């Protein structure tokens, strides 16, 4: 089992579940957050008998991402797992989508993932070990109306995952992507009931996913040394 884990965007939603799942497996957690992190989450993680370092950082900022990785190494010595979870949406139909809506989503979802991989891979290359798990989306695989920016960012994450997997494989470092469907978090809470009904019509398992289900998959991929460069869908059967 990996020892020291960085989770970006770990204060809520899927990131929070990922951080808690790794802590329950005995891993120390570097909990990255952008705005705030609840004290009770840090206590919950520490209650698993591991250490938690909470670091504020906007992953879209190259320098801040570098400082996040530096702080992680200073505290724990190694980075065994990086989970690139931080992500945003700015949904609009193409005609109404502003340049800043496109740039903001690419900056966090794609460039943020690159920033974290860039700085962490130096540490992992020295260690000759490590696992990277990137949060993509079914929307990055299949596209979606009103999400041109988000779909482009998440498709980009898939390309980045595969290139990284190929570059780092010779040093024993794996890199995989998770493509969740619709998961119960604040990102999907904002959807209207009619939109949710429309989504569920295309989900064979007829329910939204739980953050904890995605977290279990992240733990599995981070501890699967012969799986790399893969995109694993967790979507109730939306894409087969």
C-alpha–C-alpha distance, residues 178 and 171, integer Å: 22
Which region among 4-12, 70-78, 118-126, 223-231 touches ligand NDP (by CB under 6 A)? 4-12
**CB of residue 14 vs ligand NDP: minimum separation in angstroms?**
4
Nearer to ligand NDP, 28 or 108 (CB): 108
C-alpha–C-alpha distance, residues 172 and 167, integer Å: 10
Task: Give SS3 for 84.
Answer: strand
Which region among 41-49, 67-75, 85-93, 223-231 touches ligand NDP (by CB under 6 A)? 85-93
- The answer to whether 215 and 17 have CB atoms below 8 angstroms apart is yes
- The answer to whether 154 and 85 have CB atoms below 8 angstroms apart is no
> Phi-psi category of 143—alpha, beta or left, where left has phi over 0 and alpha has psi -120 to 50?
left
Nearer to ligand NDP, 198 or 225 (CB): 198
Nearer to ligand NDP, 171 or 220 (CB): 220
Catalytic-residue membership of 150 = yes
Site for ligand NDP in 124-183 (CB under 6 A): 135, 137, 180, 182-183
Q: Should residue 185 be labelled a site residue for ligand NDP when binding is judged by CB under 6 A?
A: yes
How many whole angstroms from its chain centre is CA 18?
9
Q: Should residue 188 be labelled a site residue for ligand NDP when binding is judged by CB under 6 A?
A: yes
Q: For residue 232, what are the β-bridge partners?
A: 178
Q: Should residue 108 be labelled a site residue for ligand NDP when binding is judged by CB under 6 A?
A: yes
Which region among 80-88, 90-98, 115-123, 222-230 touches ligand NDP (by CB under 6 A)? 80-88
**CB of residue 213 vs ligand NDP: minimum separation in angstroms?**
11
Neighbouring C-beta atoms of residue 38, cutoff 10 Å: 12
Residues in binding contact with ligand NDP, number by CB under 6 A: 29
Q: Which of 22, 33, 102, 150 is catalytic?
A: 150
Pairing of strands 52-56, 130-135: unpaired
Of 4, 60, 147, 228, the one binding ligand NDP by CB under 6 A: 60
Of 22, 48, 58, 69, the one binding ligand NDP by CB under 6 A: 58
Q: Please give the helix or strand (H or E) that residue 33 lies within, else none.
A: strand 28-33
C-alpha–C-alpha distance, residues 227 and 95, integer Å: 40
Q: Provide the 8-state DSSP code for 210.
A: P
Of 2, 4, 8, 131, the one binding ligand NDP by CB under 6 A: 8
Nearest to 165 by CA among 141, 132, 137: 132
Helix, strand, coil share of the chain (percent; to 5)? 50, 15, 35
Residues that bind ligand NDP (CB under 6 A): 8-9, 11-15, 32-35, 58-60, 85-88, 108, 112, 135, 137, 180, 182-183, 185-188
- Enzyme catalytic residues: 150
């Amino acid at each position: 089992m990996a020892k020291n884990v960085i989770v970006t965007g770990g204060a809520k939603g899927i990131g929070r579940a990922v951080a808690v799942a790794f802590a329950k497996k005995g891993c120390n957690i570097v909990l990255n957050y952008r705005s705030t992190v609840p004290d009770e989450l840090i206590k919950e993680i520490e209650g698993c008998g591991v250490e938690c370092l909470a670091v504020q950082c906007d992953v879209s900022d190259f320098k801040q991402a570098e400082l996040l990785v530096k702080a992680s190494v200073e505290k724990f010595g190694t980075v065994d797992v990086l989970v690139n979870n931080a992500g945003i949406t700015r949904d609009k139909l193409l005609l109404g989508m502003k340049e800043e809506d496109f740039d903001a989503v690419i900056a966090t979802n794609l460039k943020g993932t690159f920033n974290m991989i860039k700085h962490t891979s130096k540490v992992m290359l020295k260690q000759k070990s490590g696992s990277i798990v990137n949060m993509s989306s079914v929307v990055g695989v299949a596209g979606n109306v009103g999400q041109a920016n988000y779909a482009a960012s998440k498709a980009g994450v898939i390309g980045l995952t595969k290139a990284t997997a190929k570059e780092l494989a010779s040093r024993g470092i794996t890199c995989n992507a998770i493509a969740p469907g619709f998961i119960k978090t604040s990102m999907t809470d904002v959807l209207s009931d009619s939109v949710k009904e429309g989504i569920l019509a295309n989900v064979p398992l007829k329910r939204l996913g739980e953050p904890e289900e995605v977290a279990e998959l992240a733990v599995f991929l981070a501890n699967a040394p012969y799986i790399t460069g893969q995109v694993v869908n967790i979507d109730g059967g939306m894409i087969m």
